[in-house]
Structure 1
Amino acid sequence: MLTLLTYPSAFGLFSASPFCVKTALMLQHSGQVWQRSDMLDPRKMPHQKLPVLRTPERLIPDSDLIRHWLEQKGAEFDQGLSDVEKAQSRALVRMAEEHLYFHIVLDRWGNDEVWPILRETFFTGIPAMIRKPASNAIRKSVLKGISSQGIGRFSLSERMDRVERDLESISTYLWQSRFLLADQPTSADMSVGPMLAAMRATPADTPLTRRIKQDNLLNSYVDRMEQAIPIA
């Protein structure tokens, strides 16, 4: 049996990581028999990140590499799409994973209201006496990385403007069909859906969470994704 090594459930989601949720959606959609195994410390994993898929032969890191492996086993995530639609799908995936994702990270790790909740969610394996200083050091490292990436250098209004342009693009697709490129989920939905769900689920009232919760089109899309491929 395949085993998905994933961050635990949090904030009402399969996992706090949208990449782990994406991989669970792909596994479920593929028809493979699989199980989850939760972990909080991925330092011994390939790439020192999650998700990782344990197969009978090896460990496969990274959601894109896992997708490639599943496709080699016969999974079809973009069945019925034209070549142009598959190219659009690739662009939507990259927009979600290489841009929207970093706004989610900053909304959680950079928000003093959210941070205490994250600390008690993600760092329970650290003894209580040293949890605060140890987790604060990790937080500092994450925020330094977000600054190096670039998103952390923008003001809140500048960040929200950048997010808004992406959300408007996503909405343009959703006005045309139930899911981004078809009437059933495809690979783009398995990336974009978890990102929007993660934005909505951040455990505080932030401009980003409000933006999703108050948008009927995006809010209902997230709900449809959860219903279309149940993984809870």
Structure 2
Amino acid sequence: MLTLYSYPTLFGVADNNGYGLKVFAFLRLAGVPFRHEHIFDASKAPRGQLPYIVDGDDTVGDSDTILHFVTRRYAVTIDAALTPAQRTTNLLVARMLDDLYWVMSYSRWQDERFWPAFQAALKREHPNLSEDGLAKAKAFNHQRYYYQGIGRFDPDAAMARGLADLGALAALIPAQGYVHGGKPTSIDAAIYGFVANIYFYDIDTPLKQFVVAHKNIVRHCGAIHEAVSGAV
């Protein structure tokens, strides 16, 4: 059976990283059986990054690569009816979610207004985490942010960038149904991966304030959450 390796749960969400939750939601929506292993150590992962999957003799990393691999191997059809224009929209939204990822991560590990609450939540739900380990992870992430660029923003400017991304999602997500109609597709799984990691968090960032204020985003997130919920 396919095994998904991704970060652990937090605040009742199946993965506290948007990319892992994206893959989790896609597998659930596509009806592909899988085991879910929650880990912190990404040293065995392709490119040293989570999530990744192991399926027989194949080990596949990168969330988009995983979705393409699973679609081919298991003849997944949730995107089969999409038009070329809709597939282009999916690519553009996925790339925008890459940008939102950095702001979300920054809000947890670097923005000192929210770091204490995030640290406390991690320690509460995963008491095996040590102070030293968290300090090293915080320092490592600060380095990543600096070289990516978001770490050179002041907190309010970083949040403004994420709010612009969420504004685009607010304009895209319909009041009813899903991005491309009455049934969810892979882009709905991707959006859920990131929005759920904002909405369900008990940390009142500007990102969460924006999501809560937009009924269409909350409805969409809730619908996908219900569809993929179960043992996490």
TM-score w.r.t. the length of structure 2 is 0.88
Q: Which runs of 5+ in 1 are unaligned?
A: none
Offset at residue 228 of structure 1 (A): 3.2
1:91–1:231 CA distance, 2 compared to 1 (3 A):
farther
- What letter corresponds to residue 49 of structure 2 in structure 1? K
Question: Does residue 156 in structure 1 map to residue 139 in structure 2?
Answer: no
In the alignment, is the contact (CA less than 8 A) between 1:14 and 1:231 conserved in 2?
no
Q: In structure 1, what is the equivalent of residue 169 of structure 2?
A: 170
Q: Which amino acid aligns with 1:32?
A: V
Aligned pairs (5 A) from 1:18-37: 18-37=18-37
What CA distance in whole angstroms lies between the structure 2 residues aligned with 1:190 and 1:67? 11
3-state SS in 2 of match to 1:59: strand
**Structure 1 equivalent of residue 72 of structure 2:** 72
Identical-pair percentage: 22
| Amino acid in structure 2 at the alignment position of 1:109 | W
- Mapped contact 2:10–2:125 kept (Cα < 8 A): no
Residue 14 of structure 1 deviates from its aligned partner by 0.8
Residue in 1 aligned with 2:135? 136
Corresponding residue of 2:207:
208
Amino acid at match of 1:107: S
CA-to-partner distance for each residue in 1:85-114, whole Å, 9 max, x for gaps?
110111001101x20111110111123323
Q: Which amino acid in the other structure matches residue 199 of structure 2?
A: R
- Alignment partner of 1:37: what SS? strand
Alignment partners' CA distance in 1, 2:219 and 2:174 = 12
Runs of 4 or more, structure 1, over 4 Å off, are 121-126
Deviation at 1:162, TM superposition (A): 2.1
Partner amino acid, structure 2, of 1:163: G
SS at match of 2:5: strand
Which moves more between the two structures, 84-93 or 213-222? 213-222
- Separation of aligned partners in 1, 2:144 and 2:115: 18
CA contact (8 A) 2:104 2:162 kept: no
Alpha-carbon distance in structure 2 between the residues aligned to 1:183 and 1:9: 29
Q: Could you say what the CA RMSD is over the residues aligned between the two structures, in angstroms?
A: 2.1
Aligned-partner Cα distance in 2 for 1:139–1:189:
30
* Structure 2 residue ranges without an equivalent (≥5): none
Contact preservation (8 Å) 1:123, 1:135: no
Residue in structure 2 matched with residue 93 of structure 1 by the alignment: 94
Relative to structure 1, is the Cα distance of residues 227 and 136 closer, same or farther in structure 2, using a 3 angstrom cutoff?
Answer: same
Q: Distance in 1 between matches of 2:230 and 2:91?
A: 23
Distance in 1, Cα, partners of 2:47 & 2:128 = 21
Partner residue of 1:107? 107
Query: What SS class does the counterpart of residue 40 from structure 2 fall into?
Result: coil
The match for 1:116 is: 119
What is the match of residue 10 of structure 1? 10
CA contact (8 A) 2:166 2:211 kept: no
Count residues in correspondence.
227
CA distance in 2, matches of 1:189, 1:121: 30
Does the 8 Å CA contact 1:77/1:187 hold for their aligned counterparts?
Answer: yes
How far the C-alpha of 1:79 sits from its partner, in A, is: 2.6
